[in-house]
Amino acid sequence: IGVLYWYLTRNFNYWSKRGVKGPKPWPIVGNILQLFTTPQPLQELNWAKRYGKIYGIYLKEEPMLTVADPELIKTILVKDFHLFPERANISQSHDKIMSRNLVQLTGDDWKRVRSIVSPTFTSGKMKRMYPRIQECLSQLITVLDTMATDGQSMNAKDLFGRYTMDVIATCAFATKTCADYTRDNPFVLMAKSAFTVRPLKTALTLSCPVFLLKLMAKLRPAPSSGAGFFFMDSTRRLIHERQKSGHKSNDFLQLLCESEKDSEEDIKDELDVNESHHINEGSEELAVERKTLSINVVNKRLTEDEILAQALVFFLAGFETTATTLTFLTYELAINPHIQDSLYAEICAAVDANGDISYEELARLPYLDSVLSETLRLHPPSLRLHRVAAADYKLGDTGLTLYKGQTVQIGVYAVHTREEYYPDPFRFDPDRFMPENRHKLVPYTYVPFGAGPRNCIGMRFALLEAKIAVAHVMRRFRFTRVPQTAVPLGFKRGFRISVPDDVVVGVERRD
């Protein structure tokens, strides 16, 4: 027993030998179980408060440094991106198709696909999908209208989950779900299956050594059933149908099929610049991105497998995160009615004679963007980012060396809620992000979509999807605090993203 205990804990003095503080790890699981048994936002706050901007944890038996210092964040994500070019993918898929998605691709393969796909998400391309997203609002408005008439409260997470499901189904898979979970819609059933948490599988993953997880992922056969297979098979059939018929549609799948590196149509415009603060995008960052992606490629178009992989990861990454952001935003508006009133006034002023808001006008609404920014600061979907050192690396003036293959994580939630950067950090204050106040923000203390060449490529789509919903819903309805509205919010236990308990608010129709 003594020998076994020594073997399981042999690396657990790694950080203490280097003078780095951190929580005490447990045999086999390291610090993972502490994240699993306590809601992650609360655990992140506890550790950041106790150990500071830099501390060490253990992913099972492997030491991992956590950084919540803006200068180091910029260094890792931008300045020295070439030394931290990859994300940490412990249980990555080795499936022939799924391994081609941008999250998992590395090296020149990643550079090629990223350079081809990036133009798909410029404002010019997003505008083509604007009408498709608007179509998905009708069912959302109808449900809210019924709730307001009947005096019902609204479960924000459930309702916005239906909306984001419909948007992604429409824009990525040319499928209408009508936001209806009660129907036996195959898309909805498979989507729910993809996001079902399986406690036994989670427990086994927690207790499984890292090297064994990697081996199991490599040996795992390609799926022939289940959610992943369903979406890939459906998308492949849709591609073939369009090729045969010549039909084209203004959706994500069509944009991927038409995407090409170095297209003259894909230059960023003013509307892209308006939202650049979400990824700390300035001249230095753009220069690093251009240098990183400036490679000569023979094949400037995506292969069919690459299109399938991007479509699937677009769904997996975009469904729950955007729904969660809209849920948090609704909650904050309900308990801060003065902010809701200011937002309503801005939206009403932007509506044209037909009661519509143009794509350009929506993108330029400063208070709407500030409300969304403050929501993402206080409630970031991803609580941390991970990067892997490509070579031994001395980390600034910390005296620490990260060795090749070692993972460093960016404490997104920790830096977002640090009083040093955001006075009264847990007060919801959109004015922090108004254009006239942004110069006061410390760069790289706001990173909800990451930063640098590996920032979230779907950021502008996520912002558009959220802004359309907020603008059209706010113009018609008011959200109110009701007895069932939990203050403060509770959080689900789990990994990867911040998920609140059920958020219940009242719905009133505006005059």
Task: Please classify residue 439 by burial: count the beta carbons closer than 10 Å to its beta carbon, then call 0-12 exposed, 13-18 middle and 19+ buried.
Answer: exposed
Which of 137-141, 260-264, 349-353, 489-493 shows the lowest per-residue confidence on average (mean pLDDT)? 260-264
Place 70 in a pLDDT band, splitting at 50, 70 and 90: very high
* Cα–chain center distance at 173: 20
Please report, for the chain, the start and end positions of each structural domain, with discontinuous segments joined by +: 2-509
pLDDT digits (tens, 9 = 90+) for 163-176: 998 898 888 777 76
CATH number of the 2-509 domain: 1.10.630.10
For residue 503, give every residue at least 6 positions away whose Cβ sits within 8 Å of its Cβ, in sequence order, or none: 155, 156, 157, 327, 328, 330, 331, 485, 486, 489
Q: Are 74 and 451 in contact (CB under 8 A)?
A: yes
Looking at residue 224, its pLDDT comes to 46
For residue 123, give every residue at least 6 positions away whose Cβ sits within 8 Å of its Cβ, in sequence order, or none: 268, 269, 271, 272, 363, 460
- Shortest CA distance to 98 belongs to which of 308, 386, 301, 239? 308
- Residue list for the binding site for heme: 456
- Residue list for the binding site: 456
* Statement: residue 95 has pLDDT above 80: no
Q: What integer is the mean pLDDT of 138-142?
A: 89
Which of 64-73, 236-245, 401-410 shows the lowest per-residue confidence on average (mean pLDDT)? 236-245
SS3 for 419-475 is CCCCCCCCCCCHHHHCCCCHHHCCCCCCCCCCCCCCCCCCHHHHHHHHHHHHHHHHH
* Statement: residue 181 has pLDDT above 50: no
Higher pLDDT, 286 or 479: 479
The whole-angstrom separation of Cα 457 and Cα 463 is 12
Structure tokens at 112: 């090629």
**Amino acid (one-letter) located at 68:** A
pLDDT digits (tens, 9 = 90+) for 333-357: 999 999 999 999 999 999 887 888 9
Place 216 in a pLDDT band, splitting at 50, 70 and 90: low
Higher pLDDT, 245 or 231: 245
Per-residue buried b or exposed e for 402-426, using 16+ beta carbons within 10 Å of the residue's own CB = beeebbbbbbbbbbbbbeebbeebe
Query: How many other C-beta atoms can be found within 10 angstroms of the C-beta atom of residue 306?
Result: 23
Looking at residue 355, its pLDDT comes to 81
Place 49 in a pLDDT band, splitting at 50, 70 and 90: very high
Looking at residue 220, its pLDDT comes to 58
- Shortest CA distance to 262 belongs to which of 304, 298, 211, 219? 298
Q: What integer is the mean pLDDT of 308-324?
A: 85
Q: What integer is the mean pLDDT of 490-499?
A: 66
The whole-angstrom separation of Cα 382 and Cα 412 is 7
Q: What integer is the mean pLDDT of 26-30?
A: 85
Query: How many other C-beta atoms can be found within 10 angstroms of the C-beta atom of residue 506?
Result: 20
